[in-house]
């Protein structure tokens, strides 16, 4: 499964386009963010993506979860957003 990784510098419109494409193709997607800025950009992208897929009759929901990941050999806590149609 492909996980869309979002940083604090990510463009929310670009992430939203990728998110909408993955949802249309696979039916669901996961976004991973580490840090407050990245979480902020992720939430913006999910809100924008809802507008992209709404004309197709798709209503998105978002389920947040924690994930433990390794970055440069250091364990960090990430937020994962599972995004799927209702």
- DSSP bridge partners of 6: 33
- As assigned by CATH, the class of the 3-85 domain is alpha beta
Q: What is the pLDDT of residue 9?
A: 96
Q: What is the pLDDT of residue 2?
A: 76
d(CA 31, CA 11): 14
Residues in the chain: 86
What mean pLDDT comes out for the span 44-54? 95
Average pLDDT over residues 12-21: 95
DSSP, collapsed to helix, strand or coil, labels residue 37 as helix
pLDDT of residue 82: 96
Count helices and strands in the chain by DSSP H and E runs: 2, 4
Mean pLDDT for all residues in the chain: 94
């Amino acid at each position: 499964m492909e996980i869309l990784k979002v940083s604090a510098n990510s463009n929310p419109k670009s992430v939203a386009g990728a998110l909408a494409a993955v949802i249309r193709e696979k039916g669901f997607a996961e976004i991973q963010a580490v840090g407050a800025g990245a979480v902020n950009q992720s939430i913006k992208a999910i809100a924008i993506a809802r507008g992209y897929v709404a004309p197709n009759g798709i209503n998105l929901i978002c389920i947040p979860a924690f994930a433990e990941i390794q970055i440069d050999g250091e364990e960090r806590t990430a937020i994962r957003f599972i995004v799927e149609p209702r």
